[in-house]
Structure 1
Amino acid sequence: MIFREATRQDLPAVLALLADEDSVVDPARVVIGEAHERAFAAIEADPRNEVLVLTDGAGGAGGAGEVVLGCLQLTYIPGLGQNGQERALVEAVRIRADRRGAGLGADLMRLAAERARERGCGLIQLTSNKRRTAAHRFYERLGFARSHEGFKLHLEP
């Protein structure tokens, strides 16, 4: 397995993972819109954001035939709390539907935590849709605590 920053070449596979968490979506069938391109370019250019992938390593990092097995986005947030330490926000955690149950998700989250710790973050936080009860059990097994209640407000354009 290889854990690395995503490249533009990984975008179809990452979007395939995000498209449907209950089945495997062929990355070749994913439509990449202009908004996706802009978002990925912005993440790539921002030192406080990164999309990370876990791959099978076939053909070497980024090699032809390499399969993206999982992904997540890390955003590093400076703050005055926690003695001024940064915190890492984890978003868009996905493991391919046909590869779940083998510990890949735990590996991906451990590697992300290691990366955040090396950066000096004091904590990792995430939100998860209330309907994703299996994901909640997964995060609790990894040591995450339900310490806050989250709120979202969708903004109309």
Structure 2
Amino acid sequence: MDIVIRRAASGEYDALGEITAQAYLQDGLLDFGESDAYLDELRAVAKRVAAADVLVAVDDDHLLGGVTFVPSGGPMADIAQPGEAEIRMLAVAREARGKGAGEALVRACVDRARATAGCTAVVLSTQRTMHAAHRIYERLGFTRAPERDWNPLPELDDITLLTYELTL
């Protein structure tokens, strides 16, 4: 597979939104299934492009997946502190998993962070069950930062997102 990482083109927004939504749905990562409000956010690629860098992984023009890279201080940051970039909404189509697209997307985000003036770290949130993603993060040098774990829905006690960080 010859994976190329580049910015998402406007004609890919709908397809990438659906890949992202389906990745979360098929892996059982949304508490309320198709009615989960977060699905709208996962599908809203144009909205993300307006506030962050949305990258895609392609192989011979076939869309494999994507990720949202939030530069230091970007408006889409959930947990990034000053001087930190954030990785959000990493998703790879089911048929493309295990072929290096996810790792290539994370590497591209780390490279962008290193090229961002004043950026000293990259952070991300992940769910406990995203074991394949955890392996990618750890392989690339990210470490757990349990003191930064957080709950995006405080009204639901059982949703704690794990935080990983990479010092640059």
After TM superposition, the score normalised by the length of structure 1 is 0.69
Kindly report the root-mean-square deviation, in angstroms, between the aligned alpha carbons of the 2 structures.
Answer: 2.8
* Correspondence list, 1:1-157, <5 A: 1-21=3-23, 22=26, 39-46=44-51, 49-56=52-59, 58=60, 66-78=61-73, 86-120=83-117, 121-148=119-146, 149-154=148-153
Aligned residues: 130
* Aligned counterparts of 1:154 and 1:90: Cα–Cα separation in 2: 19
| Deviation digits for residues 24-82 of structure 1 (CA, Å, limit 9, x no counterpart) | xxxxxxxxxxx66xx54443333xx11111111x3xxxxxxx22112000112339xxx
* Aligned counterparts of 1:110 and 1:40: Cα–Cα separation in 2: 20
Question: Identity rate of aligned residues, in percent?
Answer: 29
* Offset at residue 86 of structure 1 (A): 2.4
More strand by share: 2
* Aligned counterparts of 2:49 and 2:132: Cα–Cα separation in 1: 31
Larger radius of gyration: 1
Gaps of 5+ in 1: 24-34, 59-65
* Offset at residue 124 of structure 1 (A): 0.7
Q: 1:91 to 1:5 in 2, by over 3 A?
A: same
| Deviation digits for residues 74-105 of structure 1 (CA, Å, limit 9, x no counterpart) | 112339xxxx9621110111122112222222
Kept after mapping to 2: 8 A contact 1:3/1:55 = yes
Gaps of 5+ in 2: 28-39, 75-80, 156-168
* Offset at residue 7 of structure 1 (A): 2.4
